[in-house]
Homo-oligomer: A and B are copies of this chain.
Amino acid sequence: MQETRLDTARIREARRVIDPMFLDTPLYRCEALEPGLGCTVSIKLETANPVRSFKARGTEIAASLLADHGSRAVVCASAGNLGQALAWSGRGRGLDVTVVASRFATVAKLDRIRALDARLELVDGDHEMARERAAAIARYDGIRLLEDSLDIETCEGAATIGLELVDTAPSFDTVLIALGGGALATGVGHVVKELAPEAEVICVQPLGAPALTHSWRRRRVVTTDATNTIADGVAGRYPIPAVLDDLLLVADDAVLVQEASIIAGMRMLLDHAGLVVEPSAALGIAAVLEDRDRFAGRHVVTIVCGSNVDVDAYHRWVGAAPLHRS
């Protein structure tokens, strides 16, 4: 395969600086999901850790490097999960962490960022405006900007999930990966294509936030004017060229799914797997629901990448209204 920006030996090496709490996460077949999906389904669960998403794998690498080089501060833009993870990783290493987020971001995520002692700045716009503001802060303050999906640490962190997938028998036919900025897809995709090339790498994005999928299909960066999805974790509009280049090398397909399918996926994960997940984490199940024939009889692994939800919104989505809550 042509070379991506990632290197598998370096990814294996990176495991050493990640707190083991974030590594070797559960990977298990969930038969209760299978009658409803028509295929063998395994779950790679990235939510059972202090930040409830996979993002700390990358922030552990980034914060470790910063601390090693004597840096004292770092800033990132985040829909919430990267910011929470960077706050966690930075706190343990004495770094001042600033997170810039949209004021429309998931409240639970913002609350956790504050609780982890990070400085939180909200912008009156979407995630792309938060990215601009974070870059401006980095320039003005002369501190490191950690840019999700562009900065190699974020991709390498995600890629450690890929190592765990290919190192664990039995083999699978397809891995379904939530597609946002692209770190998860290019990281996992790189490892799978290098070490288990017979497995299919399918990226899944909401129809309401399709920029990177459109870019992948047209093989050039396509931006959009707005996003419209509950899957806040993957709602970008400006794909990063270098990330698209990698994605073109590792993804076998990129598919778009409807909001109703994401909600149905969340509900299935609750009802049949006992898992509370955020919308982005249900994209894989949504993709199967929208194209059962494609996956019939195959063994798919879906990465359940986060569980940070606002509880009331979650109940609204999965069809249960709050009642008598104290």
Mask of A35-59 contacts with B, CB within 8 angstroms, 1/0: 0000000010101111010000000
Q: Which residues of B contact A43 (CB under 8 A)?
A: 48
Q: Are B26 and A49 in contact (CB under 8 A)?
A: yes
Stretch at the interface among A211-219, A229-237, A244-252, A308-316: A308-316
When all copies of this chain in the complex are counted, the total is 2
The answer to whether the Cβ of A104 comes within 8 Å of any Cβ in the partner chain is no
Residues of B near A21 (CB, < 8 A) are 26-28
Q: Determine whether A31 belongs to the interface, using a CB cutoff of 8 Å to chain B.
A: yes
Interface string of A259-302 (1 = CB under 8 A from B): 00000100100110011100000000000000000000000000
Separation in Å of the A30 CB from the closest CB of chain B?
A: 7
B274 near A270 with CB under 8 A, answer no
What is the distance, in angstroms, from A51's C-beta to the closest C-beta of chain B? 9
Nearest residue in B to A311 (C-beta to C-beta)? Answer: B271
CB distance A29 to B52 under 8 Å? no
**Residues on B with beta carbons closer than 8 Å to the beta carbon of A321:** 320-321, 323
Cα A284 to Cα B308 with chains together (Å): 23
Q: Does A65 contact B (CB under 8 A)?
A: no
Bitwise, A200-211 to B at CB < 8 A (1) or not (0) is 000000000000
A319 at the B interface (CB under 8 A): yes
The 6 lowest CB-CB distance pairs between A and B, nearest first, are A26-B48, A274-B307, A320-B320, A274-B276, A321-B323, A319-B325
Of the A-B pairs whose beta carbons lie under 8 Å apart in the complex, a sample of 26, sorted by A's number, is A21-B27, A24-B24, A26-B48, A28-B48, A28-B49, A29-B50, A31-B115, A32-B112, A32-B115, A43-B48, A45-B48, A52-B274, A267-B325, A270-B311, A274-B276, A274-B307, A274-B308, A274-B309, A275-B276, A319-B322, A319-B323, A319-B324, A319-B326, A320-B320, A320-B322, A321-B321
